[in-house]
Chains A and B, each alone.
Chain A
Amino acid sequence: MSQSFKIRKGYDLKLVGAAAQTDMGAVSASTYAVSPLDFPGITPKLAVKAGAQVKAGDTLFFDKDRPEVKICSPVSGEVAEVKRGAKRKILAVVVLADSEVAYADHGTLDVAKADRSAVAEHLANTGVGALITSRPYGVVASMTEEPRDIFVNAVQSGPLAGDLAYQLAGKEAEVAAALKALTALTTGKVYVSQADDVAALDCLSGEDAVNVTFSGKHPKGLVGTQIAQIAPINKGETVWTVNAIDLPVIGRAVLTGQYAPEYKVAVTGSKAINTGYATMLQGVNLTAFSSANINLDNTRVIAGDVLTGSQMDAEGFMPFGKSQITAIPEGNQTEFFGWVLPGFGKFSTNRAFWSWLFPNRAYDLDTNMHGEERAFVVTGEYDKFIPMDIFPQQLLRAILIGDIEKMEKLGIYEIVPEDFALAEVACTSKLPLQQIVRDGLNDLRKEMM
């Protein structure tokens, strides 16, 4: 069974600094850290204290409201520190790593013989359940929910996105095992989306999954776009989403019982001295890596891409769930009469600047806002970047005034913040759309729980 869709609304943001297909080697460090802030929708409760010995795959903290949502240590060693912020909020659990990783033994899983609850329990215990996102709300999934369908996204179309085939090479067995396990978790369908402009990966084309092909513009690589085309989420339904790049980690947990969140991370951006792919465990301290590979002078280092990634400390730890690092210049400089100049070299999604003459140019963009925040004035602007049957501006207004009923009616269940990222880039009024959506989803979830 296969389907294909073409995404006509959207924009392919072209930046300089794509990852060269070179292996930058393995990155390791003496400390690793896991931050609860990387896991939307959980209230962390510590399972370990400073000084405790942990193995890779031992639970560091879990969700207070859903104890089955466990976040595990990527390495074995000693819990060195629990970093806390204001009101004793947990910012990170730091682990001092052993020289050799010892894995907690969660046993192997024979998917063919196990029933649904056994599969779910295995994924929760090994920590890989946290790699699965639940919609609506876009939060870490609880393995006790039964999703309507599971959407596996193998389209990487964001700015400077890595080459998935390269990143998954050599891990075909794990990918296949993970897909099998996912199939056991739902009575609905498992959809696997792939891009039409790269060669389809055989390991993803399992016989139990529905293969879907996406062509056209970004955000074809956002799973929200894909769900909207395939089978939109209705009120009361839950679906799970998984990034294909996480499948090897899930697969390894299925096959061996080990939690080893190891990724080939794409190192990109105009401020990267060397681009390429570095193999690293999530949570690794990046101090040494950054100073060798990124020009850190007035630079913003982003975990993820420039649209949806999170700003990170170049001397901090690699956040959870990210397989890309983007380094771009900070834009903390003023520009004399920048708004009135012709703007031959300015990036814009519309023709207000003369740079429209060069549609294929790759830009070296910085983080400047190019203007102050204003009220909604321009209309119809967001629609061009959100290929879903929703009214973005009306929905945002409903969120801003806190009208839950209106949010539901206008389709808030179908979106997560990243779906509004391109619209946020284009927004003339410079409004924080992704933050507005996140706040709206949080309010809604509080109301529903």
Chain B
Amino acid sequence: MKFVQNIFDQTRPLVEKDGKRNILYPLHNALETMAFVPDHTAHSGAHVRDAIDLKRTMVTVIFAMVPALLFGMWNIGRLHYGAIGMESTLIENFLFGALKLLPLITVTYAAGLGVEIFFSWKRNHPVNEGFLVSGLLIPLIMPVDIPLWMVAASTIFAVLIGKEVFGGTGMNLLNPALTARAFAFFAYPTWMSGDQVWINTSGGDIVDGYSGATAMGDLATTVGQGLGNPATETVMAQFGPEGTYSLMNAFLGLIPGSIGETSALLILLGGLFLVFKGVGSWRIMLSFFVGGLVMAGIFNAFAVNEFMGLNPIHQLMLGGFMFGMVFMATDPVSAAQTETGKYIYGFLAGFFGIMIRVFNPAYPEGIMLAILFMNVMAPLIDHYVVEANIKRREKRLANA
């Protein structure tokens, strides 16, 4: 390890305050502290410290995403070869997926970290680890065929407007990854919805009966058709036990969608890992699920179209609900910060997510908008929770 340390030591004069490449100091510092946990010792307060730091917290989230990411990679290949009618092996599916996904990840990290490093240099503080997670989340919530420059533009917008203008990691109001997706969704709607972008069909003839739509897109066509309308039969057949979007397929993730969002099973696995490690908030995840279930249950009970009538559990397994629950709503900075607030925040995010999705078929991804909306509401929720504590204290004072 000595030679690694030597490289850092030798290059340090270049990037230090008076060095020629001072702008690279944050990058140098980030890489060095990544390679070596610094030798800093406690100088005020407690003399011993927990081994955990933000790097550990963030890498734990990344580990939790790996199953969904690998599945997404494989699913890209599987859907691709399926759409053009070619037989493919597991390895081929993975390779094709990797070929599509890795450029997305690389571009996201390059664009986002570029902005972060620039701001770190300007503000003279170290690069924060927050983007390590955001940079992996963004590709996972994009359609596979989105052009790379759009991903770069969305990422830069998210880091700049979503985070840095508020003061950087820890100060942001909105979840940066969702900000990127929202930007892409509204700026480039044709690349973010419809039936062209979810499955890559290049290099072959499309097979008969192929549809590039997602479950959300198909369900949206049933709105306004009334319950039990024969016109919706073919669509709804796909949600039956034998259909493409069957409950089992949706749970396992064998359906088209944003890259990482499809497999409820593997996302849940990641969620359990996060909760067990103490990094993800079980309060948010649980209340989010319950919130979604309650809304879906109400819709189911008072259904006027097939979308509303969908089995509530099935409803939750589709689209970005599970991914939003485990990886998006739980972002500690943009979520409610009080433990009581987390229940309210999670519940309403899940509740509104399903509501937006079903009421406004133009926004097939209601979850994203619901979480962003609740991000904005979170400080208000916290305010009332904290206010209750203040009231308790005032009451005690009055009685004293």
Residues of A within 8 A of B (CB): 13, 15, 232, 234-237, 300, 302, 306-309, 311, 326, 328, 330-340, 343, 346-353, 355, 365-372, 374-380, 383, 389-391, 393-394, 409-411, 417, 421-422, 424-430, 432-435
Contacts and interface: CB of A to CB of B under 8 A. Distances in A.
Contacts of A372: 33, 38, 40, 53, 126
B49 A430 contact: yes
Interface of B: 1, 4-5, 33-42, 44-57, 59-60, 126, 128-130, 167-171, 276-279, 281, 332-333, 335, 337-339, 342, 382, 386, 389-390, 392-394, 396-397, 400
A305 to B, nearest CB: 9
9 contacts: A307-B46, A332-B39, A366-B41, A367-B47, A409-B393, A410-B386, A424-B46, A426-B52, A435-B44
B48 A427 contact: no
A369 B49 contact: yes
Given A353-B52, A426-B50, A434 B38 contact: no
B47 A377 contact: no
Nearest to B32: A334
Contacts of A393: 337
| List of 5 A-B pairs having minimum Cβ-Cβ separation, nearest first | A371-B53, A375-B170, A434-B45, A338-B37, A350-B278
Contact of B277 (A351, A409, A411): A351
A375 B128 contact: yes
B33 A367 contact: no
Contacts of B49: 367-370, 424-425, 427, 430
Contact of A336 (B1, B51, B278, B333): B1
B393 to A, nearest CB: 6
B378 to A, nearest CB: 10
Contacts of B168: 375
B5 A348 contact: no
B38 A339 contact: no
B338 A391 contact: yes
Nearest to A339: B55
Contacts of A377: 54, 57, 130, 169-170, 332-333
Contacts of B38: 334, 369, 371-372
Contact of B389 (A15, A306, A311, A390): A390
A429 B338 contact: no
A334 B36 contact: yes
Given A336-B35, A374-B128, A375-B128, A351 B169 contact: no
Given A417-B45, A434-B46, A234 B389 contact: no
Contact of A435 (B45, B126, B169): B45
B171 A352 contact: no
A313 B327 CA distance: 48
Grouping DSSP codes into helix (H, G, I), strand (E, B) and loop, the A interface class, with mixed when no group exceeds half, is loop
Given A336-B1, A389-B392, A328 B33 contact: no
A61 B34 CA distance: 50
Contacts of B171: 375
Nearest to B393: A411
B41 A335 contact: no
Which of A343, A348, A370 has the largest count of B CB atoms less than 10 A from its CB? Answer: A370
Nearest to B331: A377
Contacts of B169: 374-375, 377
A378 B339 contact: no
Contact of B51 (A237, A343, A429): A343
A253 to B, nearest CB: 32
Given A377-B333, A411-B393, A425 B386 contact: no
Contacts of A355: 51
Contacts of A421: 45-46
A369 B40 contact: yes
Given A300-B47, A347-B51, A351-B278, 5 more contacts: A234-B396, A234-B397, A343-B51, A377-B57, A428-B53
A321 B394 CA distance: 34
Contact of B42 (A369, A380, A410): A369
Contacts of A409: 390, 393-394
B50 A232 contact: no
B54 A428 contact: yes
B338 A352 contact: no
Contacts of B129: 374
B284 to A, nearest CB: 10
Given A337-B35, A383-B339, A417-B45, A368 B332 contact: no
Contacts of B5: 334
B278 A367 contact: no
A235 B397 contact: yes
A337 B60 CA distance: 14
A178 to B, nearest CB: 28
Contacts of B396: 232, 234
Contacts of B128: 374-375
Contacts of A311: 47
Given A331-B41, A380-B281, A353 B51 contact: yes
Nearest to B335: A379
A9 to B, nearest CB: 12
Contacts of B46: 306-308, 421-422, 424-425, 434
B47 A391 contact: no
A428 B42 contact: no
B59 A367 contact: no
B393 A352 contact: no
A369 B130 CA distance: 20
Nearest to B333: A377
Nearest to A332: B39
B50 A348 contact: yes
Given A347-B51, A375-B171, A379-B335, A432 B400 contact: no
A187 B342 CA distance: 44
Contacts of B386: 391, 394, 410
A188 to B, nearest CB: 11
A334 B37 contact: yes
Contacts of B34: 337, 339
Nearest to A431: B45
A193 B36 CA distance: 45
Contacts of B48: 13, 15, 306-307, 328, 347, 365-367, 425
A128 B305 CA distance: 81
A309 B47 contact: yes
A76 B333 CA distance: 58
A429 B44 CA distance: 15
A316 to B, nearest CB: 16
Contacts of A371: 33, 37-38, 52-56
A346 B277 CA distance: 14
B36 A370 contact: no
Contacts of A330: 41
A247 B33 CA distance: 48
Contacts of A434: 44-46
A113 B37 CA distance: 64
B174 to A, nearest CB: 15
B47 A306 contact: yes
Which of A234, A236, A433, A434 has the largest count of B CB atoms less than 10 A from its CB? Answer: A234
B170 to A, nearest CB: 3
A277 to B, nearest CB: 21
Nearest to B338: A391
Which of A326, A328, A340, A421 has the largest count of B CB atoms less than 10 A from its CB? Answer: A340
A410 B53 contact: no
Contacts of B51: 338, 343, 346-348, 352-353, 355, 370
Given A232-B396, A234-B400, A369-B40, A347 B50 contact: yes
Contacts of B56: 339-340, 352-353, 371, 428
